[in-house]
Amino acid sequence: MLLPREQPCRDIPWKILPRKQSWGCALLPMILVWETMKLELPNSVKKAFEMLDNSGFCGYLVGGSVRDCLLEKTPLDFDMTSDATPAEIKACFSNYRVIETGIRHGTVTVIIDGHSIEITTHRREGNYSDKRHPDEVMFTKNLDEDLARRDFTMNALAYHPQKGFVDLFGGIEDIQEKRIRCVGDPRERMNEDALRILRALRFASVLGFALEEETQKAVNEACEQLKEISAERIAAEMVKLLCGKNVKRVLLEETTVLGAVIPELLPAKDFDQKNPHHCYDILTHTAVALENLPPTPHLRWTMLFHDLGKPATYSRDALGIGHFNGHSRQSESLAKHRLNALKLDKESIAKICKLIKYHDTVVEPSKKSVKRWLNRLSESLFRDLLEIKRADVLAQSLEYRFRLDGLAELENILSEVIAENECFSLKDLAINGNDLIAMGIADGPEIGRLLKHLLENVMDDEVENAKEVLIEKIKEIKQC
């Protein structure tokens, strides 16, 4: 068991006192209880504590909410564990709406003042035959048994407003040291639930923590077990990992592990591009570019795959310079295959593939060009394309940073086009299909062809977007 540091990290305002005998709900062995500043909790959570206490039970906040509070982050969810059974929890909160979220495993959700609070009975777990779920769950009155079944020490902390923090496994010190360490034997933890492999990397990316040595070994040894995990769960962890502030380090240091779920990454590692545009190998370029993007999932997915088609399209000219003709199409194909396998939603896949397709295409800095791109992509997707191009340039050789000026010019033109309500889609045309039918044109494909022709004329500033002008243009076309 780790002992507390004498001086906590300066960036975490805690006061750590010597350990003392637990005052937990049941008779527990000697454990660490830390007195720190009081956590600021929502009134709904305070009510949950009061309701349990008044009914003769004891509840503790556990897991991510405790960790996030200590990291001075706002928790997204509040989970509690209690010595009360599910039936007793339901009786305790009989005046509130109670949902049997996972009652077989001891979990109910209580709705208090519009907030959902999951309360789970203290439990022990049996074997994990499917590498994901325990075969058996046994309820217990002991908080220590419940904390011992958890994945990482930083998630095995418990908190009660009056009793303080309970830390059996040195989780507070691991948070101080920015360390991800398994509870107990890391190999057992990974073998129980293979998704913990990706969770460890996700926490490293999001929190900027490093894996403890034995935990790191266990992650690498067990990574092939990720193939037994459902695609949806892998995708959910990957989205959070990709949107982490430290994704570059994780992507470069944990390529082998990530390659178990995205094998397209492996050929990109250490692949020398042998091209003056690039100062990094393919994977490093990708990792640097990722961190230059906003943490928006479809943008990060786009950047992850945008150059993964390069190894398959690599060639060298007579001067030894590397080229990757057609790599955008190859990258788009790889992304489509992998993201479908991960069961991402169709709309996101379509966005990602379109951005990959055009990420290397030159966009002329003119109103005509910008309007045509807006027609092809929509305003939001065109702005995304500019973000992708900017991040791509920032991960290239310094002498090519001048391209950022061209992207800034495109953004200015885009702003002008939008501010001036320029026409770049059929819905913006001052004329529609009904107007053409009123002119005697039969409803059908001809209507669409004529409207598209008018739109192209308007976008190229050859015809004014005014109803009378467009009607005259149609008459002119029909006479031809």
Query: Is the pLDDT at 1 greater than 90, yes or no?
Result: no
Task: Report the pLDDT averaged over residues 265-294.
Answer: 97
For residues 49 and 54, what is the distance between their CA atoms, to the nearest angstrom? 9
Query: Is the pLDDT at 125 greater than 90, yes or no?
Result: no
Query: Is the pLDDT at 231 greater than 70, yes or no?
Result: yes
Task: Report the pLDDT averaged over residues 217-236.
Answer: 95
Residue 176 and residue 38 in contact, taking contact as beta carbons nearer than 8 Å: no
Q: Please give the single-letter amino acid code of residue 324.
A: F
Query: Is the pLDDT at 27 greater than 50, yes or no?
Result: no
Query: Is the pLDDT at 46 greater than 70, yes or no?
Result: yes
In the chain, count of helices (H) and strands (E)?
22, 14
Task: Report the pLDDT averaged over residues 414-432.
Answer: 94
pLDDT in tens, 131-160: 556 666 788 899 999 999 999 999 999 999
Burial (Cβ within 10 Å: 0-12, 13-18, ≥19) of residue 259: middle
What residues contact residue 21 under an 8 Å CB cut-off, 6+ apart? 30, 33
Residue 17 and residue 35 in contact, taking contact as beta carbons nearer than 8 Å: yes
> What residue ranges define each of the domains in the chain, with the CATH number in brackets?
32-177 (3.30.460.10), 187-261 (1.10.110.30), 264-413 (no CATH), 426-479 (1.10.246)
Residue 174 and residue 34 in contact, taking contact as beta carbons nearer than 8 Å: no
Residue 78 and residue 61 in contact, taking contact as beta carbons nearer than 8 Å: yes
Other CB atoms within 10 A of residue 314 CB = 19
Indicate the pTM of the whole model.
0.87
What is residue 20's predicted lDDT score, i.e. its pLDDT?
A: 35
What is residue 392's predicted lDDT score, i.e. its pLDDT?
A: 98
Residue 191 and residue 128 in contact, taking contact as beta carbons nearer than 8 Å: yes
Query: Is the pLDDT at 3 greater than 50, yes or no?
Result: no
Give the strands of the sheet with 32-34, arranged side by side: 32-34, 164-167, 157-160, 59-62, 78-82, 115-121, 107-112, 97-102
Q: Which two tokens stand for residue 275?
A: 């091209």
Task: Report the pLDDT averaged over residues 292-298.
Answer: 98
For residues 148 and 337, what is the distance between their CA atoms, to the nearest angstrom? 40
For residues 251 and 259, what is the distance between their CA atoms, to the nearest angstrom? 10
pLDDT in tens, 159-191: 999 988 999 999 999 999 999 999 999 999 999
pLDDT band at 297 (very low <50, low <70, confident <90, very high): very high
Query: Is the pLDDT at 451 greater than 90, yes or no?
Result: yes
Q: What are phi and psi of 177, to 5 degrees?
A: -90, 5
Q: What are phi and psi of 371, to 5 degrees?
A: -65, -40
Task: Report the pLDDT averaged over residues 408-424.
Answer: 96
What is residue 138's predicted lDDT score, i.e. its pLDDT?
A: 83
Other CB atoms within 10 A of residue 4 CB = 18
CA distances to 277, 311, 360, 390 from 317, rounded to whole Å, are 15, 15, 20, 28
For residue 414, the surrounding DSSP H or E stretch is helix 403-419
pLDDT in tens, 329-369: 999 999 999 999 999 999 999 999 999 999 999 999 999 99
Q: Which two tokens stand for residue 401?
A: 């940073």
What is residue 80's predicted lDDT score, i.e. its pLDDT?
A: 95
Residue 105 and residue 120 in contact, taking contact as beta carbons nearer than 8 Å: yes
Q: What are phi and psi of 271, to 5 degrees?
A: -80, 105
Q: Which residue has the higher pLDDT, 14 or 40?
A: 40
The DSSP call for residue 24 is -
